[in-house]
Amino acid sequence: MPITAWVAPQLPYLRRYARALTGNWQSGDAYVAALLEALIAEPEMLDRTLEPKVAVFRAFSRIYNSLPINIMATPPAGLAEEDDAGAVADRRLSAIAPVPRQAFLLTALEGLSVEEASAVLDIDEADCSALIDDASREIAEQVATGILIIEDEPIIALDLEALMEGLGHHIVGNARTHTEAVAIARSERPGLVLADIRLADGSSGLDAVNEILQSFDVPVVFITAYPESLLTGERPEPSFLIAKPFREEMVKAVVSQALFFGTAASRIAVES
């Protein structure tokens, strides 16, 4: 397969990543252009034993991280002013340390797994997870908020509470039923909701979330043992969904992603 067939499909994603990493499209495109020039001169830079996106992003990272200034604790130069959501994300991004910033963007923005991101950055998975954890803490320092947990299993609720408090957030309430969740949400107006789907009294966490969203907009992360009930492809699906049993690193990363991008949830259609 010619090198262009590997690189061309990845260019839109690479430009998006480079722009987010550097803070503006001119600098981002300059790094992408430098990668293309390097690949022409040294095509063996592309590791064809990897998946194409991982291989291209790995080659890009080698170039980007070869410049000491890019791994120093300085914010990206120039923040985009495209729209309110983009500007907010850029301001938050600028405060994250450079290397954790890369790990966070590879997983949160580009959708790579921790394994793939570690290959891109040429580090082991444990170190990559630690970088994402660092980014999560730095994000939490900027967007610390009140969190409502909707979970009927006390041990899981306590685990989630400890995880969120460890990131600098505070818990406005632990709800075990639909009615309790809606009451706490309307009273406390949390900045984020962590919700299970099936609750203690047979009520639905999904119904509770939909009712909450009728009152105000808030990011929602569903944590459930039944992800297939939401991922049908036939009706609106949640942006943030974690399957039980969950890994702590995944919860931290997804919560940070939801808060970082300021993503308000939409009501999810429920089959009658």
To the question of domain 144-260 being in CATH 3.40.50.2300, the answer is yes
User: pLDDT band at 79, cuts 50/70/90?
Assistant: very low
Q: Is the pLDDT of residue 234 over 50?
A: no
Computed over every residue of the chain, the mean pLDDT equals: 83
Q: What CA–CA distances, in Å, run from 179 to 186, 208, 225?
A: 11, 7, 21
Percentage of residues of the chain with pLDDT beyond 90: 47
Q: Is the pLDDT of residue 265 over 60?
A: no
Q: Give phi and psi for 156, each to the nearest 5.
A: -65, -40
Strand order of the β-sheet with 170-175 is 170-175, 146-150, 192-195, 220-224, 241-243
Task: Give the three-class secondary structure for 174.
Answer: strand
Element (H, E) at 50: none
- Considering the chain, tell me which residue range(s) the CATH 1.20.140.160 domain(s) occupy: 3-141
pLDDT tens for each residue of 106-159: 988 788 999 999 999 999 999 999 998 888 788 777 888 999 999 999 999 999
Percentage of residues of the chain with pLDDT beyond 70: 81
Which of 55-69, 169-183, 227-241 is predicted least confidently? Answer: 227-241
User: pLDDT band at 75, cuts 50/70/90?
Assistant: very low
Which range is most confident: 75-79, 171-175, 203-207, 256-260? Answer: 171-175
Question: Nearest-CA neighbor of 16 among 56, 70, 63?
Answer: 56
Domain 3-141, CATH class in plain words:
mainly alpha
pLDDT tens for each residue of 158-203: 999 999 998 889 999 999 999 999 999 999 999 999 999 889 788 8
- Considering the chain, tell me which residue range(s) the CATH 3.40.50.2300 domain(s) occupy: 144-260
Please compute the mean of the pLDDT values over residues 41-46 and round it to a whole number.
Answer: 94
CA dist 11 and 179 (Å) reads 48
Question: Nearest-CA neighbor of 251 among 125, 121, 140?
Answer: 140
